[in-house]
Amino acid sequence: MKIRVMLVDDEAPFVDTLAQRLTMRDFIVSKAYNGSQCLEAIAENPHETDVVVLDILMPGLSGIEVLKQIKAINPMMQVVLLSGQATVETAIEGMKQGAHDFLIKPTDAETLTLKIKEAAAVKASHEDRIQKAETDNIIQHKGW
């Protein structure tokens, strides 16, 4: 199954170039150019994205605020934070808020691809555990 990635950054050329590279690597890519667009898309379809690649420093909503809201909508969704100017404190805050990882821009496509695949595997593992727990619960209550 292809990994569904949403790229979120206010630098349109960066997002568009990265989207092309990830599409060539067989990812399904959607794009948002600010935090509000990202949250709108996720709220409309909370299970249509596996991994969000999210810039921290954007006009309007910060990446950290967007991360918090993503986790409120869908706690299973994995987020890889990106920034060219963030501080160590910002990276730590992002990890505390549930980010899967933090990368410094510019990052090479291989590293980002690896982090996206890792994040998607974590999401799939969480979903499998939840499904197993729900199945076990049904079996226990039905007396099977």
Mean pLDDT along residues 65-77? 96
Q: Which residue has the tokens 């379809």?
A: 45
Residue 3 has pLDDT above 80, yes or no: yes
Domain residue limits, the chain = 4-142
Superfamily, domain 4-142: Response regulator (3.40.50.2300)
Residue 37 has pLDDT above 70, yes or no: yes
Between residues 106 and 51, the one the model is more confident about: 51
Residue 139 has pLDDT above 70, yes or no: no
For residue 20, the model assigns a pLDDT of 96
Say if CB 80 and CB 54 are below 8 A apart. Answer: yes
Three-state SS for 102-117 is EEECCCCHHHHHHHHH
How far is the C-alpha of 33 from the C-alpha of 82, rounded, in Å? 14
Between residues 141 and 40, the one the model is more confident about: 40
